[in-house]
Amino acid sequence: MKLTTQRRSAARALLELIDTDLNIVAAGLLQDMALVQSNERSRFGYKRAAKIIAAVIDRSVRDLIDEGTLREVPFLGASTERIVKELVREGESPSVEKALAAYGKRSDIETRRRFRRAYLSRHTMRRALDARLGAVVVSTKRFQGDLQMHSTWSDGVESIAALAAAAEALGWSRIGITDHSYGLPIARGMSMEAAGRQGIEIDEVNETFAGRVRVYKGVEANILADGSLDLDEDERQVFEYVIASPHSLLRRDTDQTARMVGAVRQRGVAILGHPQGRMYNSRPGITADWRMVFREAACHGVAVEIDGNWHRQDVDYELAAVALEEGCLFALDSDAHSIGELAFTDYSIAHGRIAGVPADSVVNCWEAEKFENWLRDRHRRRKA
Ligand SMILES: [Zn+2]
């Protein structure tokens, strides 16, 4: 009871923090400006400024405006400064409104705005990580390692040994390598023959890193239109765990609840990866009755992923709160394709904290034996 109250008040404090995320609002205004530019160069300029403010700088734009130092940030020019200053001082930007009115196609703009819902700026992500929420809520301290990353075996740029070394440097004790399955040739998905050779390489890396980092053999399988996977049950058994993720039909507005429910029922699936398949400012991802999907995931002990890739942030803190209500487990992953991207786990953890997710519900935080038993049970498909 006490814990619940504590968690609630912590979550309230964090929601307030989001309400004051001027960096993400400013980035949105700059994206609006990019949309209405008629020449490629200024479109690029606004998009770059938006990205820097949303995902690169640590400090709040309010502080930079108050100090008069915004223009010292590389690539932030006079028009960006004007827009951000208006936002900070007036709570809105008359110059953006004027440009949008001249452009006319309001519905285009509204559509794009819907594709930017519940994302965190880097500034607010850091504040969410630093906020004092007590020991119950997931934190970087409790986090033992990332369970979705891609190596040179599919579309990543690092070897497995390099990823293990990077994980050790980050203070992690485990990682899961989850290269794409053969059903996704565009991402150089692995054949099952390659998966066998990869398994041998992982065994070797585990010998090298014994007692320091344990590398798990995962795979990221594709959820097909009917909710089945591109890997059959025997193929899934080759891996210690399967992340099932949607990589197609991500721009439809028809309901895909049955597809997602079907996916979490599949044997061997431990994690539902980037469930919506959304992308910042570019696509909405899947429409579904998420409460129903999460209820099914909870019933089968499948963890809902909070994918921290900046452009994904999927699920976000709003949907994570729904999954938490339904009793779900969570996997907080980077979806890294390079060593630098392992830091995307910070966004996953931040969304989890804002949603009030306890560390005990996050499989990345479990000690090894509990984690491995859970993986084995997903193959046996015992109900949770
Ligand atoms: Zn994916």
Pair of tokens at residue 274: 């980037």
Q: Is it the case that residue 126 has pLDDT exceeding 90?
A: yes
pLDDT band at 6 (very low <50, low <70, confident <90, very high): low
Q: What single-letter DSSP state applies at residue 49?
A: H
pLDDT band at 15 (very low <50, low <70, confident <90, very high): confident
Looking at per-residue confidence, does 2 or 184 come out higher? 184
Tell me the CA–centroid distance for residue 277 and ligand 1, in Å: 8
Tell me the CA–centroid distance for residue 244 and ligand 1, in Å: 8
For the domain made up of 22-119, give the CATH fold: DNA polymerase; domain 1 (1.10.150)
Q: What single-letter DSSP state applies at residue 186?
A: G
Specify the pLDDT at position 184.
Answer: 84
Tell me the CA–centroid distance for residue 220 and ligand 1, in Å: 7
Domain range 138-380, CATH architecture: Alpha-Beta Barrel (3.20)
Specify the pLDDT at position 3.
Answer: 55
- For residues 29 and 96, the answer to whether their CB atoms sit within 8 Å is yes
Tell me the CA–centroid distance for residue 199 and ligand 1, in Å: 20
Q: Is it the case that residue 112 has pLDDT exceeding 60?
A: yes
- For residues 330 and 361, the answer to whether their CB atoms sit within 8 Å is yes
Specify the pLDDT at position 383.
Answer: 53
Domain ranges of the chain: 22-119, 138-380
Tell me the CA–centroid distance for residue 183 and ligand 1, in Å: 12
pLDDT tens per residue, range 44-58: 999 999 999 999 999
Q: Is it the case that residue 118 has pLDDT exceeding 80?
A: yes
Tell me the CA–centroid distance for residue 382 and ligand 1, in Å: 26
Specify the pLDDT at position 20.
Answer: 79
Tell me the CA–centroid distance for residue 35 and ligand 1, in Å: 27
pLDDT tens per residue, range 163-222: 999 999 999 999 999 999 988 888 889 999 999 999 999 999 999 999 999 999 999 999
Tell me the CA–centroid distance for residue 189 and ligand 1, in Å: 11
pLDDT tens per residue, range 291-330: 999 999 999 999 999 999 999 999 999 999 999 999 999 9
Tell me the CA–centroid distance for residue 379 and ligand 1, in Å: 21
pLDDT averaged over every residue in the chain: 94
Specify the pLDDT at position 198.
Answer: 97
User: Which residues are close to ligand 1, an ion, with C-beta < 5 A?
Assistant: 245
Share of the chain above pLDDT 70, in %: 96
Tell me the CA–centroid distance for residue 124 and ligand 1, in Å: 25
Specify the 3-state DSSP secondary structure of 245: strand
Sort 2 into a burial class: Cβ within 10 Å, 0-12 / 13-18 / 19+. exposed
Mean pLDDT (whole number) for 69-81: 97
pLDDT band at 1 (very low <50, low <70, confident <90, very high): very low
pLDDT tens per residue, range 77-101: 999 999 999 999 999 999 999 999 9
Tell me the CA–centroid distance for residue 381 and ligand 1, in Å: 23
Tell me the CA–centroid distance for residue 179 and ligand 1, in Å: 9
The Cα–Cα gap between 22 and 54 comes to 9
Neighbours of 118 (CB within 10 A): 17
Q: Is it the case that residue 331 has pLDDT exceeding 60?
A: yes
Single-letter residue type at 166? A
Backbone angles phi and psi of 336, in degrees to 5: -70, 145
Tell me the CA–centroid distance for residue 278 and ligand 1, in Å: 11
Specify the pLDDT at position 19.
Answer: 74
Q: Is it the case that residue 276 has pLDDT exceeding 60?
A: yes
